[in-house]
Structure 1
Amino acid sequence: MAKLTENGGYKANMLGFSIHFLMSKWFMVFASLLIMSMAGATYLFSLYSNEIKSSLGYDQTTLNLLSFFKDLGGNVGMISGFINEVTPPWVVLLMGAIMNFFGYFMVWLAVIGRIAKPPVWKMCFYICIGASSQTFANTGVLVTCVKNFPESRGIVLGLLKGFVGLSGAIITQLYHAFYGNDVKSLVLLIGWLPCVVSCFFLRTVRVMKVDKQANELRIFYKLLFISLGLAGFIMVVIVVQNKVSFTRLEYAGSAVVVLILLFAPLILVFKEEFTLWKCKQQVLHDTPQVNVVTETPCSVQPEPEEISDLKPNIWFSNVFKPPPRGEDYTILQAIFSLDFLILFTTTTFGVGGTLTAIDNLGQIGKALGYPSTSITTFVSLLSIWNYLGRVVSGFVSEIFYQNTSSLVR
C-alpha cells in the first residue's frame, strides 16, 4: 500500500512539474527562439528568385517588382501591431502561420506548374501575403517577450531578432537535408515549416505576470553563448560545403547537429525551471518553524500567470501627452512622438539598400558566373553576419541603458 502511495505521489509530482514547465516563462522564451529561427524566409529570396524567373518567364524588371512586394509585406507591420493591441498573441501567431502557408504555397504551385501561370499582380499578392507573416511572428513574439521581461528588453530584442537573422542559414541547412539541391522545394519548405512551428507553440507565447529573477541576466547570456555556438557551427559547415561536395547523407548529418544546437536551450530552461519548482515545493512542505528563518537556500518565484493583454483606451488616450520613455505608449502616442519619427526615418533610409543587396544576391552571383553552391554560401554567411549585428546591437544597447540609468540615479 505504501509502495502504491509512493508511486502515486511520484506520478503526481512529475505531472505537476510537467505542467509547471510547459506553462513557465523560460519555456516561453525557448518557444519564442524557435519561432524566430523560422521567421526569416524573406532573406532567402535570392536563392529561389532565379527559379521564379525561369519557370514563369519573367524578366529582371518583373522580378524586381516581385521583390518589392515581398519587402513591402515583410516590413509593413502596422496591421499586425493593430491586431496585437486588441487580441492575445496566439491570434497574431495563428494569422501569421496561415498567411505564411497560403502565400508561399501558392508561389510554389505556380513555380512547379501545378496551377496555370498567374498574372504578375497575383504573384505579387501571393508573395506579399507570405512575407507579411514575418511581421505577425515578430509582433506576436517580440512584443510579448518585451512585456514579460521589461527590465531586459534590449537583450530580449537583440537575441530574438538575432535568431531571425540566423534563420536564413538554419533553413538552408534543413532544406539541403530534406530536399537536396531542389531549389523549387525550398519555396515549399518555407511555406510549411514556419507554419508548423508557430502553430505548435500558439498557446505557449503569452503575456505573463512580470517577476524578475536575480539570475535573469545570466540566463540570457547563457542563451547568447548557445546561439553563438550554433552560428559558429553553421559558419564552419558552410565553408566546408563550399569546398567539398556534400552527399544527401552528409547534409542530413549537419542538419541533425544544427537541430541539436537549436534545441540546446531546452536543457538550460529545464534546469532553471526544475530548480524553481523544487524551491516552490520545498516552501509548500516546510513547517511553520522553518518558515521563520529569514534566509532560505533559494528564492522562490511565484507561478507565472497569464494576464489580459487588452487595453481599453489604446486609441485616443492622451495622444500628445506620452508617458516617460520606457513605459507603454498607446498607438497614437507612439505615432505622434518624436522618437517614432526618428526611428521611422532612420529605418526608411537605412534598410532599403541592404534589402536590395540581399534580394539580388542570386542575380549578382549568376552574373559573375558563380555556381549555385557559392550563391547559397553567400546567403548563409550573410544570415550569420545579420545575426551577429542584431545580437550585438541588442546586448550593447542594454549595457549602455543600464549604465546610463545607474548614473542618473
Structure 2
Amino acid sequence: MLWFALCVATNSSAWLSTSVLVTNMRNFPLSRGTVAGILKGYGGLSAAVYTEIYTTTLHKSSSELLMFLALGVPLICFTMMYFIRPCTPASGEDSAQHGHFLFTQAASVVLGSYLLTTTILNDIFSLSAPISYTFLAAMVLLLMAPLAIPIKMTLNPTNRSKSGMLNQPVGSSESMLQGEENADKTEPLLTPSSSTASLGSFHKNDIYFAGVGSGVTVLNNLAQIGIAQGVHNTTMLLCLFSFCNFLGRLGGGAVSEHFLRSKTIPRTIWMTCTQVIMVITYLLFASALDGTLYAATALLGSAMVFNFLSWSRLSLSFLA
C-alpha cells in the first residue's frame, strides 16, 4: 500500500507541477526562465518547510504526518487550484513586472536562508516550544510574502493600457488571444511534432538521464556517503544540499534567461557546464579527501538542479 501511495503521489505531483509551469510560462512569455526558476525554487524549499512543520507542529509524530499529507496537502491544492489560470500577458517589457520578480526572488532567498539557519539552530540547541512556534510563524510570513504583489496591485492598480488592447475587458477572450499572438511573435515556439522528430530532443533526454539520474542516485545515498566519511550526524549535510538545491533551481532559471536574452547563449551550454561540475563533484566524492564532503555536496545540489531546470525549460517550451 505504501508503494501504491508513493506512485499516486509522485504521479499527481508531476501533473500539478507541469500545469503550474506551463500556465505561468504562458502568462509571462518574456520571463519564462525566471518564472520556472522561482516555481522550482519554492518546490525545492518545500522539503525544509515540511521538516519545520514536522518538528514543530506535529512533534515528530509519523501518524500525524501521514494525516497531514492525506488531508492538509489536498486541501491546499484544491484551494489554490482556483488561482492557476491563464491571463493576458504583457505585450512588451514591463518594469513593474521586473520589480515583482526581483521581490519574489529576494523573498525566496530570505526564506531559504531562514530555513537553513533555523534548521541548524534546532539541530544544535534544544529550543523551547514558544521559540519553535515563533520560528514557525516567521516562516509562514516569509512563505506568504509574494502575496504582497497582488495586494499592492489591487490597492494601487496601474492605469496604463497595453498597446493593441485598448477598449477590451481584462481577461476577455479577444485580449487573451491577442496576447498569445504577441507572445508567439516575441519568442516563437516549436510545434510538438517538430520537437518529437528532432534528434536534438532525444539527445537532451539522454543528457538529462545521465546528469540528473546520477545526481538523484547520490542524493538517495547521501546519508550513507556521509557516514562512510565519518559524518555521523547527516542532518547538516542534507540541509546544505537542500539549500544549494534551492539556489540551483532559482539561479538555473534567472541566469540562463539573462544570458539567453543578452548574449544569446543557449541553455545547452549551461547544461554542458553543469555536467562538467558534476563530474568533478563525483571525483571529490570518490577521493574522500578531508574537507571536500561539504563542498562536493553543495556543488552537487546546485549543479544537478541547474541541469534539470535548463532541460525542463527547453522541454516545456514545446508545450507552453
Instruction: Check whether TM > 0.5.
Output: yes
Separation of aligned partners in 2, 1:344 and 1:184:
39
Separation of aligned partners in 2, 1:229 and 1:160:
15
Instruction: State the match for 2:258 in structure 1.
Output: 399
Matched to 1:337, the amino acid is S
Matched to 1:181, the amino acid is K
Separation of aligned partners in 2, 1:325 and 1:268:
25
SS in 1 for 2:156: helix
Separation of aligned partners in 1, 2:153 and 2:221:
44
CA deviations on 1:93-114 (whole Å, 9 max, x unpaired) are: xxxxxxxxxxxxxxxxxxxxxx
Q: Mark the CA change 1:358 to 1:184 in structure 2 (over 3 Å): closer, same or farther.
A: farther
Q: Mark the CA change 1:215 to 1:260 in structure 2 (over 3 Å): closer, same or farther.
A: same
Separation of aligned partners in 1, 2:219 and 2:70:
20
Separation of aligned partners in 2, 1:244 and 1:183:
23
SS in 2 for 1:127: helix
Separation of aligned partners in 1, 2:86 and 2:172:
6
Contact 1:237/1:254 (8 A) holds in 2 = yes
SS in 2 for 1:382: helix
Separation of aligned partners in 1, 2:172 and 2:116:
39
Separation of aligned partners in 1, 2:11 and 2:125:
36
SS in 1 for 2:85: coil
Separation of aligned partners in 2, 1:188 and 1:358:
27
Instruction: State the match for 2:207 in structure 1.
Output: 346
The alignment of Structure 1 onto Structure 2 pairs a total of residues equal to 249
Identity over aligned residues, as a percent? 25
Q: Mark the CA change 1:126 to 1:161 in structure 2 (over 3 Å): closer, same or farther.
A: same
Matched to 1:198, the amino acid is C
Q: Mark the CA change 1:345 to 1:125 in structure 2 (over 3 Å): closer, same or farther.
A: same
Instruction: State the match for 2:288 in structure 1.
Output: none
The Cα of 1:393 is off from its aligned counterpart by: 1.4
The Cα of 1:147 is off from its aligned counterpart by: 0.4
TM-score normalised by length of structure 2: 0.68
The Cα of 1:127 is off from its aligned counterpart by: 1.1
Does residue 94 of structure 2 align to residue 176 of structure 1? no
2:194 to 333, 358, 366: 333
TM-score normalised by length of structure 1: 0.55
Instruction: State the match for 1:9 in structure 2.
Output: none
CA deviations on 1:276-333 (whole Å, 9 max, x unpaired) are: 2xx44xxxxxxxxxxxxxxxxxx2457641659xxxxxxxxxxxxxx99943444333
Instruction: State the match for 1:275 in structure 2.
Output: 156
Separation of aligned partners in 1, 2:171 and 2:114:
37
Instruction: State the match for 1:305 in structure 2.
Output: 171
Instruction: State the match for 1:159 in structure 2.
Output: 38
Q: Mark the CA change 1:332 to 1:180 in structure 2 (over 3 Å): closer, same or farther.
A: same
Counterpart mapping for 1:102-117 below 5 A = none
1:233 to 109, 114, 119: 114
**RMSD after superposition:** 2.9
Q: Mark the CA change 1:211 to 1:334 in structure 2 (over 3 Å): closer, same or farther.
A: same
Q: Mark the CA change 1:194 to 1:359 in structure 2 (over 3 Å): closer, same or farther.
A: farther
Counterpart mapping for 1:4-403 below 5 A = 122-183=1-62, 185-212=64-91, 213-276=94-157, 279-280=158-159, 299-300=160-161, 304-305=170-171, 326-362=187-223, 374-403=233-262
Matched to 1:227, the amino acid is S
Instruction: Give ranges in structure 2 of 5+ residues lacking alignment.
Output: 175-183, 266-320
CA deviations on 1:186-215 (whole Å, 9 max, x unpaired) are: 344344333222111112101122224342
Instruction: State the match for 2:287 in structure 1.
Output: none
Contact 1:206/1:306 (8 A) holds in 2 = no
Q: Which entry has the higher C-alpha Rg, 1 or 2?
A: 1
Q: Mark the CA change 1:159 to 1:355 in structure 2 (over 3 Å): closer, same or farther.
A: same
The Cα of 1:268 is off from its aligned counterpart by: 2.9
Separation of aligned partners in 1, 2:136 and 2:172:
35
